[in-house]
């Protein structure tokens, strides 16, 4: 089994999402792990020429499980992670358009996303309409035929106690992922 482990937080050792993805990968033992740090080795913005190089897509397609660290920046995903997704959503490879609408072609893969958000965005909360991270990632992976799993640490900017308890709770949730 091959795990593709992806991080996209700019905060290095202080990063909650990096702490959580590391824990998830540790739970999924007996696997080969390929690590891609989108901050220390960023992918350039998408260009037409970039489609000639399918190495990022091939790495994704070859993985059985993909673990993604996704911090919320300005209500959505880091641009580093968007540049990676721009290489994953490729017509004819991970989706296609049919007479009956779009069809995902990347099913059969497990995708686990570690979300880290400074605030709270639960349905009905004042900021719910600004949540464009989990909703976006769910939509994108659904589009290519995958139902992603999420582990979330929320309220990380509220204060140190909230941060510690949210990260602890998320790390506890990672234990069930290996089951
Ligand atoms: C540049 C930047 C933008 C941010 N924008 C938001 C935001 O729009 N909403 C939010 O809830 N938190 C926001 N935050 C807080 C982060 O989501 C929070 O610090 C989280 O811990 C980031 O994940 P990380 O610890 O893995 O870096 C922002 C943080 C940074 C550094």
CA of 93 to the centre of ligand 1 (A): 32
Q: Which of 73, 81, 115 to mutate to test the pocket of ligand 1 (most atoms within 8 A of CB)?
A: 73
- The residue whose C-alpha atom lies closest to atom 29 belonging to ligand 1 is 73
Q: Which of 17, 18, 72, 127 to mutate to test the pocket of ligand 1 (most atoms within 8 A of CB)?
A: 72
- Residue 69: its pLDDT value, please? 98
pLDDT tens digit at each of 179 positions of the chain: 999 999 999 999 999 999 999 999 999 977 899 999 999 999 999 999 999 999 999 999 999 999 999 999 999 999 999 999 999 999 999 999 999 999 999 999 999 999 999 999 999 999 999 999 999 999 999 999 999 999 999 999 999 999 999 999 999 999 988 77
Nearest to 25 by CA among 136, 151, 146, 166: 151
Ligand 1 neighbourhood includes 16 CB (under 6 angstroms): yes
CA 82 vs CA 10, 60, 68, 91, 140: distances in Å: 14, 14, 12, 17, 11
- The residue whose C-alpha atom lies closest to atom 18 belonging to ligand 1 is 118
CA of 54 to the centre of ligand 1 (A): 30
Q: How far apart are CA 100 and CA 111, in angstroms?
A: 26
Ligand 1 neighbourhood includes 166 CB (under 6 angstroms): no
Q: How far apart are CA 170 and CA 7, in angstroms?
A: 16
Distance from the first to the final alpha carbon of the chain:
16
Ligand 1 neighbourhood includes 133 CB (under 6 angstroms): no
- Residue 28: its pLDDT value, please? 92
CA of 43 to the centre of ligand 1 (A): 21
Nearest to 140 by CA among 111, 101, 160: 111
Ligand 1 atom closest to 69 (CA): 26
């Amino acid at each position: 089994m091959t795990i593709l482990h992806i991080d996209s937080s700019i905060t290095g050792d202080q990063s909650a999402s990096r702490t959580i993805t590391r824990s998830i990968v540790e739970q999924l033992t007996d696997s080969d792990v390929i690590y891609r740090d989108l901050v220390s080795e960023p992918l350039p913005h998408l260009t037409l020429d970039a489609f000639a190089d399918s190495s990022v897509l091939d790495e994704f397609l070859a993985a059985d499980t993909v673990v993604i660290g996704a911090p919320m920046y300005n209500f959505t995903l880091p641009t580093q992670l968007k540049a990676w997704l721009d290489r994953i959503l490729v017509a004819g490879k991970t989706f296609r358009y049919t007479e009956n609408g779009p069809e995902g072609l990347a099913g059969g893969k497990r995708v686990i996303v570690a979300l880290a958000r400074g605030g709270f965005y639960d349905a009905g909360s004042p900021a719910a309409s600004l949540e464009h991270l989990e909703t976006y990632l769910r939509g994108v992976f659904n589009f290519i035929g995958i139902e992603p799993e999420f582990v979330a640490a929320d309220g990380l900017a509220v204060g140190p106690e909230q941060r510690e308890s949210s990260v602890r709770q998320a790390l506890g949730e990672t234990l069930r992922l290996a089951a």
